[in-house]
Structure 1
Amino acid sequence: MAGCRAKAVSYLEPVKLGPGLASGGVRLLGSPGRPCVWSRSEFVFVYQRDSGLLQIVYRFPSSVWHVEVDSRNERLFVLCAGSGIYSISLNHSLVEETEAGESLLAASQSECNRGSSMPRVCAISAERCIIRDPAICSFIVSDDIVVTVIKEAQKWRVTFLRLPPAGCELQSCRKIEDMDFAFHPNFPTCEKSPKMISQPVLRCIYPQPVKDSEKQLRDDDHMSLEPSLFSLLFSVDANMLNSPIVLFGLPDGQLCFVPIKCMSSEVRGHASRVTVLHHLEQPVVFIGALSIKQDGNNDPGHQPPLDKPSIPDGVVVIGKGGKIVIIKASLQMEIWFPNFIEYHVRGPVTSACCCASTLYYSTCWDFFSIEFVQRKTSCGVSGRTADERISQSDGILPSILTPISLNICGIVAVSTPSLTPNGDLNFVALTEKGKVMTCTLPSSSSAVESMNFKALSAGQRIKDLLAGIGSVTDRITSLKHVMQQKDKALKGLNQDFNICCGLLSSQEDQEKGTVSSKQLISCCVTAKWNRLLLQDSLVVSCILENFSDWPLEHKWSLCVKVIKQTSALTKSSDSTAFTYNFPITELVPGKKMEVTVPLNSASDDFIAFPVSIHCFLYYNLNSILTGNVNECPFPHSSLLAPGCSDNNGICLPLNTHVIDLLDCLHINGGGAAEVIPALNINRKSRTSDPLKIFLQSLMCFEADNVKNSEKLKGSFSVPASESIAKEPFSASIKLSPELLKAVLKDLGTGNGAITGSDVLQWLFSGNPEVATVRMQPLPMVHCTAPDDSRVRILSKQVAIADFFVDGPLSVLEIVMECSSLTTLCFLHQAITRRVQMLLEQSSPSSDSLPGFRVQCLRQLIHNAEGLLKEVQSLRDQLCVGVEINMSDTAAKLLQLYGQLRNTDLVIV
């Protein structure tokens, strides 16, 4: 496909684009050809022809869809979305808007970087609407008749209206008649939407050639046609009545026509006067007239002169998909018939125009020209029948079109071209970015001559092309490699971006309190015992599972942050955090990845529960910034990373899990009387006394308020410490059965009456050894704590009297016994945390609550307050330095602790 370039291209002031797809139109006003441009915004722009500056801007109440020019009365007819058709007289003064003019001028200067004078901006009021109908899709004006097209439910409606007489421009138009015709059965589904992509195209065709005196009085969209072809297409009656024909190109592909003038019998008839001429099977975007010239033995002198163009003898119709139909007269069997010749070019076609025998059309990427040359047959008449000789006497069109690229892209609307004195072609175009430009193209003959290569020049050009094949091949190979790398990088970035968006969206849903139906990436955290080198250690297992559609590659790593309290149980104690980083090689969708981190270190005497586990994904940005895809997520590539909060990556949280003592207990698989074997845990030989730690930390905390010279008196020998304690430490919590019914039903154990085994399964639901509890349906379980202390948990039903009006109430009591006071504290806190979660999930009604005896409740609260006063009294004695027996004090504190942890209060 040969190409040529425009001789000159100059840009005018840009226009404001409307919403949606880039579209609009261009018209020329008067003989000087002042461009009139609209682009689906509320403005219509009129330019000066010579200077190219904005002369006047009309502002309408809504978006402008279509504009028609009445050159005889110097008026503009404008179709606005949702309102109707407005009429503007170009000679009358209108109300101007100064602020709008300044804003439009500022926008044009910012894009073109040039100064210009202030354009006039005129506001068009609603009183200038002469046809009020929001359903009008398109219209055309012929003399004093307005023809509108309306899309209804399953049909098109054509309405004829008469314009008001001169001097009464603001009066409404008078309706003459309506005509309906149905959609085509193959109407495209996309074109049935309320907002049609394509507008109906209307053209007015006159039966007689336009005289020179009438050229300035008719719109450039009104064309004339050779009388013989006019009679073949639109009947002899229309030719005799000198009736203009309105040709409709509809979005459903139909090409219809209707005469403006008609006989009285046709008006009174019931049948519609709309006639279907052809169907393109795609939306119509252009209708024009062509002068299909004949090429007589390639004689340039045979061409018609440019100053006297021939009368159009063909109609061209273009579809949006690139179908072109040429309608011309053809002589067959000594009878003239209309001949429909179809061609196909690459679409979609956005706009088109005609000049003599050349068709110009634009697509999304270029502007093309096609010259239709009808050639005579050069062969003799011998060997042919008379019918064949007659059928070939009118010439033939080429079987395949050869578009010529003009190297102008992005055109969405173009005006009717005009010829310059030098024979060049001049037209005004609107681009998809809102730029208005005037283009001058060489004449069609020069474009054709550019395709006729001489033998010597063609041979030299072939040699040059062959010489450059090698370098072009090498360049293509290099560019292909670069494009593959970029495509791979963009594909990876797109996957990572989708993962980030999915995780952030899930995080926002969790903050709002909503649970997403599909979790892209999950991380399951459990605590379990691991045996390595004959030593048992408590570890945290994190199972990362990819449910998304994209793989996690080398740029990602799983980070696990363990936050636990220090061994000093004081108010001023701080937490210790360890962050572990695990690089991800490749985790494809549907696969899992398991990592483990230690829960205790060799320097810890015991683990202070609860422990918080934070899991999140870390995305390394160093590989993107430096281009090294194999770079480690962290500079030193150590397993224990100091943190993932540096500026070289993105942290995306997955979940937070709390591990308490119930999750870490080792459950004995035997009966109740079986002796529990101790775990072989590598720990220091010296076991610290938890009660001693508690009293020492309390003394250190309170001693800050005492002068340095003062010292606390008394020894610190505690005979009742847990190292020599004869009886185990115990505590209990009482719960109502109604509170446990919901959670036990979710676990599948609360179908009947609630038993002690059901309660134990609920408590150990987060423990990996919960299967042992299910296998032995007993109300009691024996366990071993991480510090090698023995634990027994018992669940039983007890009756509580004296507190309820309706008599004794049966409740569930959870009794915990431990050989270590520290373990008892952690176990009591773990069970209390589960009860708090249970209270947050359940919302019992006031009707299900039993009636309480207020006096008994007051007595219980009074007893608890008395115990608290005794504890406060002992603390005050320690603070002021009173000489007391520390052994008796420790025993008293243990007694008070046990009384506070064993009350008759019931959680309902």
Structure 2
Amino acid sequence: MESMRCSVRCLSEAQFGCFSGATMVFSGTDVLLSNGSSLVTVCSCVDQKGIHQFPGAVRHLMLCSNKRGLYALCENDGICYIDLPQHPRISSSSTSVGDLSGVPKAPPCICVIKDPCASFFLVVNSILVTVGPLDDVWLFKLYHIPEVTTACHRKLAEHCIPIAPVDTTAAEAEEKCKPPVLCCVCTGSATSVPPDSDGHYFLEPTLFSLLFGIDVSLVSAPVVICGLPDGRLCYLPFLPAIRQSADKDAKPRMSLLYSLEQPIIFIGTAGEGDVGGTPKALVAVGCCGKVLIVQVGDGGAEGKVPVFREYGVPGPVVCACISNTHLYYSTLSDLLALPLVLSSSLERVTEQNLHPDPVPSFPNPISLNICRLIALAKLTNTSTGAVQLVAMSLQGRLLCITLPQGSDRGHVPRVSAAQAGQKMKDLLTSIGNLSDRATLLKSSIQTRNAALKKLNQVFNISCQLLQKGSEVHPVCKPPVSICFETRWIRLLQQDSLTLRCTLENSSSFVLEHGWTLCIQMVPLFCALNPEGSMSTKSYSFPLKILFPGKIMEVVLPLASENELVLPLKVTCFLVYSLQSILEPVKAGCPFTEGMCLSWDTDYISLDLDTTTLDLLDCLQVSGPTGDKNSSRSGSTSSTDIFQTFLNARRGEWQGRSSSGTRAGPLEEGPFVAAIRVSSALLSAFLKNSGSLCCSLLSWLFSSCSGHQVKEDLECPMVFGCCPKGNMLKVMAKEALVEDLGEGGPILTVELQLESSSLATLCSLHYSILHRIQLLLKEVSMETKGPTQLQGRSLQQALAHAEVLLEEIQGARGSVALAVEAPSVISAKLLHVYQQLRTNPLVIL
């Protein structure tokens, strides 16, 4: 920052002390100042003074229009008036500010306006304007000044604007407590006389009419501009009707001019326009280091338009005053002179660019090397062309500051064209580098904000699914759910078994990129498939976007005829890749065999649902009156059904051995099993008034593809085809069991299972027993069951089971000692299996 040497001298040797809110004005060659107390001191250049006493702490001073009296704003009291008659001066060396001995008796102080809310006031011709807070508004009041100044001032009008509520810190709240500032602006002309009072300024007619309207400009009405602590710059025109009467229809209207977004502490005009040197710019200064300059710009087809420019300067600004070319302000640590760059013709400004960016070449302020100044006033030019300022220091000393000759015309160092060009290149390079860094920083901030937003959404979804898993709300629908359905489809003249998985998003969040639906299939009993042809299979489906309330369907091929091993456990997960928060990742899921997914360093895995597919889920039902293909080709006669079943079994027998030798016992079908269920148990669960046998078959085969089972009173039965092509038959009939309960025979429903394949029969037997186990969990028996069972029948069943156990143990010993052929051992085990399946106990 450049500096300038200037001379400083004290106008008074006395130190007046300093309180909050020092202010001063000029009356001819006299300086009337208040250090924030209830005293107002009159000083002159010959080091003499007088003292006036006011009822309260003085916050603002202003002379009346005829310069014969003084208005003072007293804190929590109102506005007082005092005459300024001629009186002898008293040497300051013999009298201090607090010592009133020897001072001529001052004229009495009169309270002309009782308004404890007033924070600032301004005298404009014969009107006095006050402003202050009242509840939640800023209240402006206009009073008529009578010819006898000591008389009561009549109120003409008032206007209010809301106080803008803002959330601020403690330091900002202290800045917001600064009082408003008022100044008067009039339209200037070639014959205009420069104002001789603080707070009064002229402005070029063109800018005046653009800012305040053509009506105000035509009647040459003065305009009061107010700078509020919240940064708003408002104006209030003085219509002639206001000066003549208190007509309610002629009330002035406060209008918003601009918002500087920080407390405004000074308003003035600067520059020399084309009309007799009238100022051509309006200047407002914020306390935090902002300067607003308003000029006339070219708006193209719109004509002339006002241009508002903001500039940042070192702050904070404590006090300020202005000349045509410079703004002088104090920051307590230094007194600075800011050259005002006022272009004669600004670039074209459109409606979309009424606030163009600040000019990069705006000069830095010049340091005057004077500190601790709290008040500035009266800027004059000496006969030699030097600039003089009057200031008050923090210690309460009145100073006269003289700047070098010609300093008011600017202080710009002279440089060569080459140096200026190089400096311009350096500045442009610095601007480019700063712009690149700002762009990278902005991009980084946006990326992090987006990542945090995604991560927050992922955690919300995870918390909802974890709550569902802990069964906190068992009745509510899960936020994300999945359902399964097996279907046989005809593709290229071949039947294929598929699994349809439907994912539903019932949450309030969007499942976006990064989420993957993973499905894992694991056979439960690999022993049923000795060849082990089917192992664990995993599928992953990346989600593009799934909105709340939407579904996503995927169809999976279960297996070909010889690869499907039932029962099959299907597990579904929602997996989120944490790498997708910052960068895209390849589609995939970290599934491994036997792996239970959980929180990991790279993935978040959430369990959705697990189901078990058995033979009943994958069976093609032909119905009670149809063959293997009846679900597609229609019904046939019962004779054709039996013939088809026998032909299929005969074909299997013929293919046992190509050499004509006898096949093993595991291929000597058909194989039969039976299951007996209490009729009372089924009635309590099915609640069907029709045939209990047909209702049971309909319930068991409800998840199968094909026709629904119809009622056949004589012998209800169902034929079906398993995925491997083996036929099976299930028949239901009612039977009485007499030797089980002491209370009499027990009515049961007996299910007879038959298949030409032992593996198919075992799988069907498991599927039906699994469903009946679920039935036992759901049914609440209301009727009394057979509590008294015959011990003799249970002893017989136990003895029969012990005999079968001995046969199994004997077969295991033969295998261990290798004393019998495997075919013989297989035949024994098959006999035991058939005994267990054909003589079952009753499920009560």
Change (3 A) 1:514 1:589: closer
Change (3 A) 1:295 1:361: farther
How do 1:398-413 and structure 2 match up within 5 A? 399-400=254-255, 405=260
Instruction: Specify the alignment match of 2:814 in structure 1.
Output: 877
Distance in structure 1 (CA, Å) of the matches to 2:262 and 2:816? 94
Displacement after TM superposition at 1:502 (Å) = 3.2
Instruction: Specify the alignment match of 1:740 in structure 2.
Output: 682
Secondary structure of the residue that 1:459 maps to in structure 2? coil
Distance in structure 2 (CA, Å) of the matches to 1:399 and 1:513? 60
Alpha-carbon displacement from aligned partner over 1:422-454 (angstroms, at most 9, x marks no partner) = xx9999xxxxxxxxxxx9751376799959999
Displacement after TM superposition at 1:525 (Å) = 1.9
Matched, 1:652 2:589: no
Q: How many residues align structurally?
A: 540
Instruction: Specify the alignment match of 2:180 in structure 1.
Output: 370
Instruction: Specify the alignment match of 1:442 in structure 2.
Output: 318
Distance in structure 2 (CA, Å) of the matches to 1:349 and 1:665? 70
Contact 2:571 2:609 in 1 (8 A): yes
Change (3 A) 1:686 1:781: closer
How do 1:448-847 and structure 2 match up within 5 A? 457-459=341-343, 462=346, 494=453, 498=457, 501-502=460-461, 504-512=463-471, 514-515=473-474, 517-548=476-507, 552-565=511-524, 567-569=526-528, 576-588=535-547, 590-600=549-559, 605=562, 607-626=564-583, 628=584, 631-634=585-588, 648-669=602-623, 671=625, 673=638, 674-675=640-641, 721-725=665-669, 728-741=670-683, 743-744=685-686, 750-753=687-690, 755-769=692-706, 771-773=707-709, 779-844=716-781, 847=784
Secondary structure of the residue that 2:556 maps to in structure 1? strand
Alpha-carbon displacement from aligned partner over 1:582-635 (angstroms, at most 9, x marks no partner) = 344455555544333333368xx5533211112223334444433x4xx53139
Distance in structure 2 (CA, Å) of the matches to 1:473 and 1:743? 80
Distance in structure 1 (CA, Å) of the matches to 2:668 and 2:156? 118
Distance in structure 1 (CA, Å) of the matches to 2:484 and 2:674? 29
Distance in structure 2 (CA, Å) of the matches to 1:345 and 1:450? 29
Among residues 139, 145, 148, which one is paired with 1:325 in the alignment? 139
Contact 1:374 1:397 in 2 (8 A): no
Distance in structure 1 (CA, Å) of the matches to 2:131 and 2:170? 16
Secondary structure of the residue that 1:761 maps to in structure 2? helix
Displacement after TM superposition at 1:824 (Å) = 1.3
Amino acid at match of 1:290: S
Among residues 810, 816, 826, which one is paired with 1:890 in the alignment? 826
Change (3 A) 1:577 1:227: same
Secondary structure of the residue that 1:852 maps to in structure 2? coil
Contact 2:732 2:750 in 1 (8 A): yes
Distance in structure 1 (CA, Å) of the matches to 2:601 and 2:655? 43
Distance in structure 2 (CA, Å) of the matches to 1:613 and 1:32? 83
Secondary structure of the residue that 2:815 maps to in structure 1? helix
Among residues 331, 338, 343, which one is paired with 2:161 in the alignment? 343
Secondary structure of the residue that 1:878 maps to in structure 2? helix
Secondary structure of the residue that 2:485 maps to in structure 1? strand
Alpha-carbon displacement from aligned partner over 1:366-410 (angstroms, at most 9, x marks no partner) = 887631457899869xxx999943659xx999834668758599x
Change (3 A) 1:351 1:649: closer
Which ranges in structure 2 are unaligned for 5 or more consecutive residues?
1-17, 21-53, 59-73, 82-113, 186-199, 201-218, 223-238, 265-284, 289-314, 330-336, 348-355, 362-427, 627-637
Distance in structure 1 (CA, Å) of the matches to 2:476 and 2:745? 45
Change (3 A) 1:338 1:397: closer
Distance in structure 1 (CA, Å) of the matches to 2:252 and 2:241? 21
Secondary structure of the residue that 1:457 maps to in structure 2? coil
Alpha-carbon displacement from aligned partner over 1:244-281 (angstroms, at most 9, x marks no partner) = xxxxxxxxxxxxxxxxxxxxxxxxxxxxxxxxx99xxx
Alpha-carbon displacement from aligned partner over 1:208-237 (angstroms, at most 9, x marks no partner) = 93489xxxxxxxxx95313899xxxxxxxx
Secondary structure of the residue that 1:675 maps to in structure 2? helix
Contact 2:131 2:138 in 1 (8 A): no
Higher CA-based Rg: 2
Contact 1:504 1:652 in 2 (8 A): no
How do 1:11-22 and structure 2 match up within 5 A? none
Contact 1:526 1:542 in 2 (8 A): yes
Instruction: Specify the alignment match of 2:836 in structure 1.
Output: 900
Amino acid at match of 1:610: P
Amino acid at match of 2:775: L
Distance in structure 2 (CA, Å) of the matches to 1:688 and 1:781? 26
Among residues 316, 323, 327, which one is paired with 2:133 in the alignment? 316
Question: Which sits farther off after the overlay, 794-803 or 445-454?
Answer: 445-454
Secondary structure of the residue that 1:863 maps to in structure 2? helix
Distance in structure 1 (CA, Å) of the matches to 2:521 and 2:120? 85
Amino acid at match of 2:318: P
Secondary structure of the residue that 2:539 maps to in structure 1? strand
Alpha-carbon displacement from aligned partner over 1:713-734 (angstroms, at most 9, x marks no partner) = xxxx985624333xx2122222
Contact 2:487 2:500 in 1 (8 A): yes
Matched, 1:294 2:123: yes
Displacement after TM superposition at 1:791 (Å) = 1.0
Distance in structure 2 (CA, Å) of the matches to 1:397 and 1:755? 94
Alpha-carbon displacement from aligned partner over 1:787-843 (angstroms, at most 9, x marks no partner) = 322211122222222322332221222221121111111111111211222222334
Amino acid at match of 1:907: I
Give the TM-score normalised by structure 2: 0.51
Contact 2:517 2:541 in 1 (8 A): yes
Displacement after TM superposition at 1:785 (Å) = 1.6
Distance in structure 1 (CA, Å) of the matches to 2:608 and 2:502? 12
Contact 2:56 2:77 in 1 (8 A): no
Amino acid at match of 1:539: T
Amino acid at match of 2:679: P
Change (3 A) 1:326 1:444: farther
Alpha-carbon displacement from aligned partner over 1:505-539 (angstroms, at most 9, x marks no partner) = 23432332743633444332223334433333333
Displacement after TM superposition at 1:293 (Å) = 3.5
Distance in structure 2 (CA, Å) of the matches to 1:385 and 1:875? 122
Percent of aligned positions that are identical: 24
Secondary structure of the residue that 1:873 maps to in structure 2? helix
Contact 1:369 1:403 in 2 (8 A): no
Amino acid at match of 2:668: I
Displacement after TM superposition at 1:499 (Å) = 6.1
Alpha-carbon displacement from aligned partner over 1:541-592 (angstroms, at most 9, x marks no partner) = 3233444555545534332211125754599999931112234445555554
Change (3 A) 1:317 1:611: same
Contact 2:509 2:547 in 1 (8 A): yes
Distance in structure 2 (CA, Å) of the matches to 1:632 and 1:598? 24
Secondary structure of the residue that 2:470 maps to in structure 1? helix
Distance in structure 2 (CA, Å) of the matches to 1:501 and 1:455? 57
Distance in structure 2 (CA, Å) of the matches to 1:479 and 1:426? 27
Distance in structure 2 (CA, Å) of the matches to 1:767 and 1:330? 98
How do 1:107-256 and structure 2 match up within 5 A? 209-210=55-56, 224-226=76-78
Amino acid at match of 2:841: L
Contact 1:562 1:614 in 2 (8 A): yes
Distance in structure 1 (CA, Å) of the matches to 2:740 and 2:341? 115
Distance in structure 1 (CA, Å) of the matches to 2:622 and 2:741? 38
Amino acid at match of 2:678: S
Displacement after TM superposition at 1:297 (Å) = 12
Distance in structure 2 (CA, Å) of the matches to 1:616 and 1:880? 48
Amino acid at match of 1:654: L
Which ranges in structure 1 are unaligned for 5 or more consecutive residues?
1-30, 34-207, 213-221, 230-276, 279-286, 304-311, 354-359, 410-423, 428-438, 691-716, 745-749
Give the TM-score normalised by structure 1: 0.48
